[in-house]
Amino acid sequence: MEHNPLNIFMVSFDWDDLANKKPENIIAKLNRDKLYPEKNKFLILSWGPGRYEKNISPNIRVVRRSARLRFFRPLYDFLTFFVGPSVIRQNRFVPDLLFVYDFPFALALSRVKRLFNIPLILCLTNQPRQYINSRQSLRLPKLWYQMLVERLAKKYITLVYTTSQSLRRYALERGIPRENVSVYIMDTITPDKEIAINAQGGFLRKKFPIPENHKILFSAARLEGEKGLERLIKAFAELSNKDLSLVIAGKGPSGEALVELSKTLGVADRVFFAGHISRPDLWNAYKDAHVFILLSTAEALGLVFLEAMYAELPVIGSRVDGIMESIGEEEERGFLWDPSDGIGALEERLNMCFAGQVADRVSRAKAHVERELENKTDIITAYHLCQK
What is the full DSSP assignment across 178-230?
A: GGGEEE----SSGGGHHHHHT--TTHHHHHS---TT-EEEEEE--S-GGGTHH
Tell me if 301 is assigned to some domain: yes
**pTM for this prediction:** 0.85
Same domain flag for 29 and 59: yes
Provide the pLDDT for residue 2.
Answer: 56
Mean pLDDT, the chain, as a whole number?
Answer: 94
pLDDT at 319 over 50: yes
Tell me if 225 is assigned to some domain: yes
Of residues 231 and 134, which shows the higher confidence score?
Answer: 231
Phi, psi at 155, each rounded to 5°: -75, -15
Distance CA 66, CA 361 (A): 49
Q: How confident is the model at residue 136 (pLDDT cuts 50, 70, 90)?
A: low
Q: What is the pLDDT of residues 258-290, one digit of tens each?
A: 999 999 999 999 999 999 999 999 999 999 999
Distance CA 288, CA 316 (A): 16
Distance CA 68, CA 75 (A): 11
Same domain flag for 230 and 359: yes
Provide the pLDDT for residue 85.
Answer: 97
pLDDT at 96 over 50: yes
Q: Please state the rounded mean pLDDT for residues 107-131.
A: 93
Provide the pLDDT for residue 135.
Answer: 67
Q: Please state the rounded mean pLDDT for residues 336-354.
A: 97
Distance CA 255, CA 375 (A): 35
Tell me if 107 is assigned to some domain: yes
Amino acid letter, residue 312 = E
Same domain flag for 56 and 138: yes
pLDDT at 4 over 80: yes
Same domain flag for 217 and 259: yes
Same domain flag for 181 and 247: no
Tell me if 237 is assigned to some domain: yes
Same domain flag for 328 and 198: yes
Domain count, the chain: 2
Distances (CA, A) of 6 to 9, 24, 218, 372: 10, 20, 40, 26
Tell me if 270 is assigned to some domain: yes
Q: Please state the rounded mean pLDDT for residues 347-360.
A: 96
Percent of the chain with pLDDT over 70: 98
Q: What is the strand order of the sheet 52-57 is part of?
A: 52-57, 60-66, 41-48, 7-13, 97-100, 120-124, 159-162, 181-183
| Contact indicator for 381, 183 with CB cutoff of 8 Å | no
Name the nearest CA neighbour of 18 among 42, 44, 40, 37: 44
Q: What is the pLDDT of residues 283-298, one digit of tens each?
A: 999 999 999 999 999 8
Same domain flag for 122 and 247: no
Q: Please state the rounded mean pLDDT for residues 251-260.
A: 94
Tell me if 1 is assigned to some domain: no
- For residue 154, what is the DSSP state? G
Same domain flag for 265 and 286: yes
The residues near 245 (Cβ < 8 Å, ≥ 6 apart) are 208, 210, 211, 214, 215, 216, 217, 270, 271, 272
Provide the pLDDT for residue 302.
Answer: 81
What is the CATH number for 21? 3.40.50.2000
Provide the pLDDT for residue 316.
Answer: 98
Tell me if 120 is assigned to some domain: yes
Provide the pLDDT for residue 131.
Answer: 77
Q: What is the pLDDT of residues 164-202, one digit of tens each?
A: 898 999 999 999 999 999 999 988 899 899 999 999 989
Provide the pLDDT for residue 130.
Answer: 81
Tell me if 2 is assigned to some domain: no
Same domain flag for 282 and 363: yes
Same domain flag for 222 and 146: no
Distance CA 26, CA 24 (A): 5
Same domain flag for 70 and 198: no
Q: Please state the rounded mean pLDDT for residues 237-255.
A: 96
Range of the domain at 161: 7-187+375-386
Same domain flag for 179 and 210: no
Q: How confident is the model at residue 1 (pLDDT cuts 50, 70, 90)?
A: very low
Q: Which residue intervals of the chain are DSSP H helices?
A: 18-21, 23-32, 73-90, 103-108, 110-116, 128-133, 139-153, 165-173, 193-197, 203-207, 229-238, 255-264, 279-288, 303-310, 321-327, 343-354, 359-372, 379-386
pLDDT at 46 over 80: yes
